[in-house]
Structure 1
Amino acid sequence: MKYAILITTLVALPTASLAQSGRAGADVETLVKLGPRVAGTPVMAKASDYLEAEYRKAGYTTQIQTFTYSRFEDLGSSLTAGKSKITGLPLSGSVAGKVDAPLVVVPNVGRPEDFARVDVKGAIAVVQRGEIRFSEKVQNASTAGAVAVAIVNDRSGKLAASLGGGVSKIPVLALSREQGSALLQSSQTQQPATLHVNTRQRQVTGRNVVAHLPGIARPQILLGAHYDSVPGAPGANDNASGTAVVLEIARRISKTPLAKQTWFVAFDGEEDGLHGSKAFVQTAQPQFISSLKAMLNFDMVGVNSSLRVSGTPQLTARAKAAQSELYTSESYSGSDHASFAAAKVPVLFFHRGREPNYHTPNDKQVDSNLLDETVSVGLEIVEQLL
């Protein structure tokens, strides 16, 4: 369904031509062809070069903001139960360690009430992925007395995930659905097992791509999207889609007064814990932050039909008033807008929810029509806010 937002016209926005339609989809294809865009890799340098060149073609000046942080890297982690040894992926932010303890299957997805149904004290808790954040599952397990956690994916493929920038008190290992399904059987409870999270920390240099018209030092609006992906995932929907939408909005408004009040940023290091957006906010001048009326973040907007907007209540209310059928909610967590919300900047988060190819090697395609739809919605909301 197309979204038509009714607003008071401030600027005559250009209607998309046939040449413009599908342009965001072409940007996604270009980024995907580069391969997984993992922070600190040569592929990310190529991706940032591409984005810089495209913004410059549209008439913007660009800068590369570099920053460093520590990344967890897997050196070979596994779960051994009986005669079976399962290779898993530690969640980014998991403490390293080797634990010998019985397995205890936790019903459902790891809420406090789920842990209340079983005794996991001194055990390796086995929980399913879904519904609540990984960090919540791990915190609930630790509070209940578990000494390690194994999270079983609820869809095909490996699970590459993060604890959101924090560091766990206990080792956390992610298992594919194919590998971990047997562990979810109640017969596996209390079976002796060994969970080994073998990781190291490595210094990584990230690259934020910043674009704006020359001389614009205090914008009122900042549009952003992360352009990194998790290891092994081409990252079409997560998040070449949002990156392409922000780039296309920049192209469309480059010759209008809106561009004189707007900055655009492609953030690096989001998948490892919002590092790019945190670095941007932490190094920005106080006057820059205080000048912002809103930060609009686009993440995973190329798959699934329903566009959702969440964020600061006054902004989501304006979005809802403009389009009654637009799904809105209040939420600050989960993506780069959270870094701005923490600095008291009003935020809007555009997304379409998770889909089966999330964080997998199959995240290769998006619906170009959905990208164009998101561009149109974003354009009109930017106009409304200014």
Structure 2
Amino acid sequence: MLPRRSPRPLPTKPAPPAWKRALPALLAAGAVWAGWQELTRPRNPALAEAARTRTTAQDWASLAAFGPRPVGTPGHDRAVDWLDTQFTALGYHVTRQEVTATRPFDQGGTLQAAGFTLPVKAIYGAAGGEQTARLVRVDPDATPDVMEAQGLRAQLALTTCPSGPWRDLAERVNRAGGFGLLLIDDCPGRALQKVDATPFPLVTVPAAEKARVLALAGQTVTLTSRVETRPVTGHNLIVRRVNATPDLLYGAHLDTVNGSPGGNDNSSGVLTVLHLARQHAGTPTADRVWFVLFDLEEDGLIGSRLFVKTHSAKLRPLRAMLNFDMVGVPATPLKVAGDVDVIRTAQAAVPGLGAFTEDPPGGVQDFGRSGYLTGRSDHVPFKGLRIRTLFFHRGLDAHYHTPQDTRPDLTLVQDTADKAARISAALLAQPFRPSESCGIQQRNCRF
């Protein structure tokens, strides 16, 4: 009898490769990702016809209702929300770029002398402090040497309105060794004046207290100023069609100084940009322009500097950046400053358009070459990228940086927008080659 053999195991089907098992899951995940991308992809909002029929007068009435718009105040935040809504209704996609800074906020102060206490206000920019010393009456335009000769060292300066900026007065008091400044605000205007932060109290009292305070000269007093410096958050509003290629950029700053509704500085510029957005809405030109409202301009061009730094690659092909600042005041006829070639194009498109030169405060070095970065408005950071700029301006009015800056000339605002549109059409019609980076060896530079 033959020995019994063990049954041979039946052949089994080999296991499928790992990639075949993972493929369905990968395909499903890809489909989910693609669907999510499609759902979350930015889209152009629908153009609301009612938004196209609004007038500049209606825009100003709405904007003025928010009051002063320094960053960190409710009026500012409400204005940002309203502007976002207006641009969205015109069919543009709006992106809010967060801009942060620190700003000083006056928390009150006192002048304490024998027999009475008087409230004082910190000068904007001052850091506050407390000093007990003698009040020394000084001429507001005196030199530091003269102030020191009058005994100001380690004492408190008592003075009236200077002929120049308050910052210069505070600097002269500091150089003379003064430990604080009490300024009787008898200035004819109510413009916001800013000083540099020092560890000493820099304060004002109203002109109504002039006689009472001047009588304190020579007495020892205690001057207290409480200032809180806290972070604030603003927003650049970047307005565009989703796939727009920025051949041109219209810009203006949306913030104001403390206490001023900024009718001309710079609601007039904001209204101009909004009017241009309305003019371009629903046209092919809308896909070739960006509209940007910059924040924290009044605190040192902080918003525009951040915008240029963040979007530098996308901005290099720009034919020009058009900036609007104080264009609703009949101080002077509309004039422009900026790139020579752009000014030439602008004057050909708008015969009789004036031009001016911004005073150069200093130069910037670029691998051995120097060029002025001039001006005090939001076109300046664009110059750093060698982007051509055109700055629209009508000069300062009598209410610059004051609570009385409430009446931009809306006819001039519309006139500015109309002329800017004509200039833009001429710029877009020209052949253009973007500026190239100079490189280390300074080749192929265009200035």
TM range (shorter): 0.7 to 0.9
The reply on whether 1:35 has 2:67 as its aligned counterpart is: yes
Alpha-carbon distance in structure 2 between the residues aligned to 1:350 and 1:81: 50
Letter in 2 for 1:102: L
The reply on whether 1:272 has 2:304 as its aligned counterpart is: no
Alpha-carbon distance in structure 1 between the residues aligned to 2:309 and 2:264: 28
8 Å contact kept, 2:251–2:273: yes
Aligned to 1:326: 354
How far residue 55 of structure 1 moved from its aligned partner, in angstroms, is 1.6
Letter in 2 for 1:338: V
Superimposed CA distance per residue, residues 296-353 of structure 1 (whole angstroms, 9 cap, x where no aligned partner):
2222222234145464453685356765562512143433333434454443333333
Alpha-carbon distance in structure 2 between the residues aligned to 1:201 and 1:162: 15
Residues 1:346 and 1:196: Cα distance change in structure 2 (over 3 Å)? farther
8 Å contact kept, 1:337–1:349: yes
Superimposed CA distance per residue, residues 118-160 of structure 1 (whole angstroms, 9 cap, x where no aligned partner):
446545554636655x545544554454444456463354x54
Residues 1:85 and 1:66: Cα distance change in structure 2 (over 3 Å)? same
8 Å contact kept, 2:273–2:291: yes
How far residue 230 of structure 1 moved from its aligned partner, in angstroms, is 3.1
8 Å contact kept, 2:252–2:378: yes
Alpha-carbon distance in structure 2 between the residues aligned to 1:343 and 1:287: 10
8 Å contact kept, 2:122–2:128: no
The reply on whether 1:178 has 2:207 as its aligned counterpart is: yes
The reply on whether 1:361 has 2:368 as its aligned counterpart is: no
8 Å contact kept, 2:136–2:217: yes
Alpha-carbon distance in structure 2 between the residues aligned to 1:22 and 1:178: 44
8 Å contact kept, 1:106–1:115: no
Aligned to 2:123: 90
The share of aligned pairs that are identical, in percent, is 31
Match of 1:168 among 192, 197, 202: 197
How far residue 75 of structure 1 moved from its aligned partner, in angstroms, is 0.8
Aligned to 1:13: none
Q: Could you tell me the TM-score, scaled by structure 2's length?
A: 0.66
8 Å contact kept, 1:162–1:272: no
RCO comparison, higher one (Cα < 8 Å, 6+): 1
Superimposed CA distance per residue, residues 260-312 of structure 1 (whole angstroms, 9 cap, x where no aligned partner):
3321111222333333223322322x312423343322222222341454644
Alpha-carbon distance in structure 1 between the residues aligned to 2:238 and 2:104: 26
Structure 2's unaligned 5+ residue stretches are: 1-50, 360-373, 429-447
1:1-386 counterparts in 2 under 5 A?
23-78=55-110, 85=118, 87-92=120-125, 94-99=126-131, 100-108=133-141, 115=144, 118-119=147-148, 121-122=153-154, 124=156, 126=159, 128=161, 135-149=167-181, 152=185, 154-157=187-190, 159-163=191-195, 167-169=196-198, 171=200, 173=202, 175=204, 178-179=207-208, 194-217=222-245, 219-284=246-311, 286-307=312-333, 309=335, 311-312=337-338, 314=340, 317-318=343-344, 323-324=351-352, 326-331=354-359, 332-386=374-428
Alpha-carbon distance in structure 2 between the residues aligned to 1:343 and 1:179: 50
Letter in 2 for 1:290: R
Q: Could you tell me the TM-score, scaled by structure 1's length?
A: 0.75
CA RMSD of aligned residues (A): 3.7
Residues 1:172 and 1:259: Cα distance change in structure 2 (over 3 Å)? farther
Structure 1's unaligned 5+ residue stretches are: 1-18
Letter in 2 for 1:273: G
Aligned to 1:12: none
Q: How many aligned positions are there?
A: 355
Aligned to 1:3: none
8 Å contact kept, 1:303–1:352: yes
How far residue 223 of structure 1 moved from its aligned partner, in angstroms, is 1.6
Give the structure with higher Rg (CA).
2
